């Protein structure tokens, strides 16, 4: 519910503003006091809340899995162990179906990506005023707790997958094979002169396709979670009885979005890495 003297637009803007640390116009590195000041800090500013919650939730994922692994038993497993084993088997099955090569890094990466994104997405189910109000009492003006509603986070993850795919593409195909895919497909010809003429066209088409992968990979996750957060914020502006009437059904539906987006990001990551391992002999 909107609090204080904030109007509807001010309330929405407040809840969509990150706790930003950067270089102000006077050359001093400090936390931004307003949304306009945060915007003026530019590219090198850091969204401290997104970073802190993302790292914290990643650490939580590692801690939970470490504790359960250390206490795992084959006799009478606990409910948490059963749940984690189901997740591990689910990820392993999907990697086995989507990845046709041998790389011991892919399955752990897929599990990490799925669980990390799932935990970050789940923060969207926390009532929108609870954490910001708590931090406001402690003197922190802005606090966004859903890292995946920050395009810096989602694009950072997608670019990490992209650069890793480029690395494996060079490693498995060589420079010639990698650039050959960009310049000799989809159009080709046995005539050497025609083949040369087609290189710019192929490079443009394949280059656009290559760049579009990390962009769509990151923005898809961001867009879906940002839209979900926006709806929760809009519901919070309504009278109390309307909030309960609308927020509960939306939260139940949003659980599907939360899990599905984590799964889609993970699957696309595995597919892109599989493509990076494919060579001419694999087709």
Tell me 274's DSSP state: H
Does residue 94 belong to any structural domain of this protein? yes
220 has catalytic annotation = yes
Report whether pLDDT(2) > 80: no
In a domain, 2, yes or no: no
CB–CB of 232/11 below 8 Å?
Answer: no
The answer to whether residue 241 sits within a structural domain is: yes
Q: Distances in Å between the alpha carbon of 168 and those of 101, 134, 171?
A: 12, 45, 5
Mark whether 224 is an active-site residue: yes
User: What does the alpha-carbon distance between residue 134 and residue 127 come to, in Å, rounded to a whole number?
Assistant: 12
Out of 152, 224, 247, 274, which one is annotated catalytic? 224
Residue 1 lies in a domain: no
The pLDDT-based confidence of 86 (bands split at 50, 70, 90) is very high
Q: Is residue 23 in some structural domain? A: yes
Task: Please count the structural domains in the chain.
Answer: 1
**Domain containing 122: what range?**
8-282
> Is 238 inside any structural domain?
yes
Give backbone dihedrals phi and psi of 259, rounded to 5 degrees, phi first.
Answer: -70, -45
Identify the active-site residue in 103, 160, 172, 220: 220
pLDDT in tens, 108-121: 999 999 999 999 99
Residue 270's closest CA among 85, 18, 97?
97
Three-state DSSP class for residue 23: strand
Q: What is the DSSP letter of 189?
A: -
Global pTM reads 0.93
Provide mean pLDDT across the span 113-133: 96
At residue 203, what are phi and psi to the nearest 5 degrees?
-65, -40
Give 12-63 pLDDT, tens digit per residue.
Answer: 999 999 999 999 988 899 999 988 899 899 888 999 999 999 999 999 999 9
66 is catalytic: no
User: Is residue 225 in some structural domain?
Assistant: yes
């Amino acid at each position: 519910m909107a609090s204080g003297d904030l109007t509807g637009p001010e309330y929405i803007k407040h809840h969509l503003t990150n706790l930003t640390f950067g270089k102000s116009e006077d050359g001093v590195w400090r936390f931004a006091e307003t949304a306009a000041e945060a915007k003026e800090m530019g590219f090198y500013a850091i969204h401290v809340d997104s970073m802190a919650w993302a790292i914290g939730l990643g650490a939580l994922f590692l801690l939970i899995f470490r504790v359960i692994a250390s206490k795992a038993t084959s006799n009478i497993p606990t409910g948490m162990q059963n749940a984690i084993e189901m997740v591990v088997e689910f990820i392993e099955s999907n990697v086995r179906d989507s990845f046709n090569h041998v790389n011991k890094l892919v399955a752990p990466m897929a599990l990490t990506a799925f669980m990390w994104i799932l935990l970050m997405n789940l923060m969207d189910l926390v009532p929108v005023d609870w954490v910001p109000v708590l931090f406001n009492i402690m003197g922190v003006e802005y606090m966004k707790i859903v890292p995946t509603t920050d395009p810096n986070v989602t694009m950072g993850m997608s670019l990490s997958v992209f650069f890793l795919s480029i690395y494996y593409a060079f490693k498995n195909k060589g420079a010639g094979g990698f650039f050959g895919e960009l310049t000799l497909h989809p159009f080709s010809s046995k005539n050497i002169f025609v083949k040369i003429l087609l290189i710019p066209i192929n490079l443009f088409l394949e280059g656009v396709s290559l760049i579009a992968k990390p962009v769509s990979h990151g923005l898809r996750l961001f867009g879906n979670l940002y839209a979900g957060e926006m709806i929760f914020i809009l519901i919070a502006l309504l009278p109390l009885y309307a909030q309960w009437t609308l927020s509960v059904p939306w939260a139940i539906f949003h659980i599907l979005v939360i899990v599905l987006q984590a799964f889609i990001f993970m699957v696309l990551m595995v597919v892109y890495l599989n493509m990076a391992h494919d060579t001419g002999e694999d087709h």
